[in-house]
Structure 1
Amino acid sequence: MIIALSGGIGGAKLALGLSQVLPPGELLIVANTGDDFEHLGLSISPDIDTLTYALAGLDNTELGWGRRDETWSFMETLGAIGGETWFRLGDRDLALHVERTRRLCAGETLSAVTADVARRLGIAPRLLPMSDDPVRTRILSDGVWIDFQDWFVRQRCAPAFHGLEFAGAAEARPQPELLAALRAGPRAVVICPSNPFISIEPILAVPGLRAAIAACGAPVIAVSPIIAGQAVKGPTATMFAQSGTAPSAAAVAARYADILTHYVMEPGDDAAGIAARVSRAPILMRTLEDKISLARAVLAAIG
């Protein structure tokens, strides 16, 4: 069993690559839910949805998020009557949020809803949230705490990043199947090339998970989301710079130093200071072939 920890876009690309090269049932993908929030009365799980659409072949590759072949009648009508339109929900995408909200309100867990949707869409790997309990990422900017989606989407990361917290993490319980898989001894734990601050560290903040990963006895391998000091996508490099650390592949590895045994980074990037065993491979994933190639490189690195 390979356990992959993932955020949204970058993580979903490697998760898809791994799903193409591993036998069915050999991949467990754990999604960050620190990005989750309630909007327009709906329960939104952006990273789960990005992974779901990517693994089902339904992702919108032009936008980088949401479903392909999307229409926007709902948002157009909402805007016309004065509703909030800063977080865009396509008509096809909206169906998933409505159904998730209905089932959660009826008492189902997020894990159960996620797994059933994945099954109905023909996704072979197991896809689970990090916890069924709510964890909410918040950004500190000039002494004010801002909800993550407000900072990331509505304000487009404009407020300076001075810190973050994962509200609810201290009370959250790890997803039981994930904890059982770690205790059973996986083949490896893969940390996908996602933003360490807001995609991977919310997962590691759930009590017991970081320790369970460290104690699982398997290689723990991360893939850098940084190439030549720049983030492949999103605010990773900016968050490093505003927290007082030069953005680099090594800076990412340092945030996982207590659990990391292997690291995959771009050829040419500086590996100085990385204690883990370093492998080199092209990190940028534009095509399905790129995703499969990187997945093979990850598996080759751990043997």
Structure 2
Amino acid sequence: MVTPDSPCVLALAGGVGGPKLALGLSHCLPPNNLVICVNTGDDETFHGLHVSPDLDTMMYTLSGLSNTEMGWGVGGDTFTALEMLRKFGVDTWFNLGDRDFATHIRRTQLLADGRTLSEVTRELNQQLGVYHQIVPMSDDAVKTVLLTDEGELSMQRYFVGRRAEPKVSEVRYMGAEVAEPSPGLRNALDIATSLVFCPSNPYLSLGPILALPTIRKAMNEFTGKRICVSPIVGGDAVKGPAGKIMAELGKEVSSVEIAREYQDITDVLVMDSQDRNLATQIEEMGISPLITSTIMETEEDKIALAREILTLLE
């Protein structure tokens, strides 16, 4: 039960797994007790429009509009605009539905009017009835770039255009060194009583956020509980290329490696019961393991995992 003393949670998220847990948390905490900071390292311009894939996935998920089968986009969307663009000879490798186009048109209009990405994100979410705070990691441009055996690729070109097939040797966050954390992220770090790292790709989703100046240091010095949910189950990612990238970077594909990635900023690692044999290794790193079911297939699964995480904060 939520009370006035409920924790104020700052959740870091991106990709597909992040919104799943964020939805669960939103069912357990009122808007004033939850801030969701979302990756913008894979923002790109398509057809002259500013597209923020992770922000949109979060917005669609919390508004109930998401395509739950795909994990991105609007449920039941049509693609007539994309079909017309193809008739004009336009390369349409990045799939955008008609209602999704409307989101990007409106975002681009508001940005052109001089609004910040934070302001635009707040307005778009409120118009869709989302009152939990969804904030971009930064109002400045940060671009996730993967160095691969096919050269440098943006995150979307790698993941969507090339279906995560190229071999990755390095991940860079262009512009992160000069980007400022968004006002919403800075404020959340000041007021939050706990941090939750959602089960998102450590390199493509959470890496860009942690690459911002002062953010990792602030999380290292954070005095509240810091909880990380591992995106790796049974030696692979639940969804997406996290496991493949980890292996190509010469890292162990397991929750132990996730613990290493966040060792300086994590107190508790939540991992699936399939990996209970790794608990001792996690404990030896000074991190408390929580063994539970982390597979979120239904809304009930998402809420159940969120509740279990929140019990750690009581």
- Which band: TM-score by shorter chain? over 0.9
Q: Provide the aligned length of Structure 1 versus Structure 2.
A: 302
* Identity percentage of aligned residues: 44
What's the TM-score, normalizing by structure 2? 0.94
Structure 2 residue 18 is the aligned partner of structure 1 residue 11: yes
> In the alignment, which residue of structure 2 is the partner of 1:113?
120
Task: Tell me how far 1:80 sits from its aligned partner.
Answer: 1.9
Match of residue 169 from structure 1: 176
2:235 corresponds to 1:224: no
Q: Provide, for residues 156-183 of structure 1, a one-character-per-residue CA deviation record: whole Å limited to 9, x for no partner.
A: 1111010010000001001123212212
CA contact (8 A) 1:109 1:132 kept: yes
In structure 2, what residue type is equivalent to 1:68? G
Instruction: For residue 264 of structure 2, give the secondary structure of its aligned residue in structure 1.
Output: coil
Question: Structure 2 stretches of 5 or more lacking a match?
Answer: 1-7
Matched, 1:28 2:35: yes
Distance 2:184 2:105 in 1: 26
Contact conserved, 2:232 with 2:255, CA < 8 A, in 1? yes
Provide the rounded CA distance (Å) in 2 between the counterparts of 1:14 and 1:69.
23
1:138 has 2:152 as partner: no
State whether structure 2 residue 163 is matched by structure 1 residue 156: yes
Question: How far did 1:18 drift?
Answer: 0.1
Distance 1:61 1:19 in 2: 17
Tell me, which stretches of 5 or more residues in structure 1 are unaligned? none
Q: CA deviation at 1:285?
A: 0.5
In structure 1, what is the equivalent of residue 240 of structure 2? 234
SS at match of 1:149: helix
Name which of structure 1's ranges 286-295 and 271-280 shifts more when overlaid on structure 2: 271-280
Which residue of structure 1 lines up, in the alignment, with residue 249 of structure 2? 243
Note the C-alpha offset of 1:246.
Answer: 2.2
Q: Does 1:293 align with 2:304?
A: yes
Q: Partner residue of 1:125?
A: 132
**Runs of 4+ with deviation above 6 angstroms:** none
Q: Who is 2:3 aligned against?
A: none
Give the drift of 1:219.
1.0
Contact 2:259 2:269 in 1 (8 A): yes
Match of 2:269 among 263, 266, 272: 263
**Of the candidates 277, 290, 293, which is equivalent to residue 288 of structure 2?**
277
Q: Provide the rounded CA distance (Å) in 1 between the counterparts of 2:87 and 2:312.
A: 53
Residues 11, 36 of structure 2: 8 Å contact kept: yes
Q: 1:42-57 to 2 correspondence within 5 Å?
A: 42-57=49-64
Alignment deviations for residues 187-239 of structure 1 (CA, whole Å, 9 cap, x no partner) = 21000000001100100001011111222211110101111001110001101
Match of residue 196 from structure 1? 202
Matches within 5 A, 1:67-78: 67-78=74-85
Residues of 1 paired with 2:201 and 2:112: CA distance?
31
TM-score (norm 1): 0.97
Aligned-pair distance for 1:12? 0.1
Partner of 1:206: 212
Distance in 2 (alpha carbons) for counterparts of 1:158 and 1:78: 26
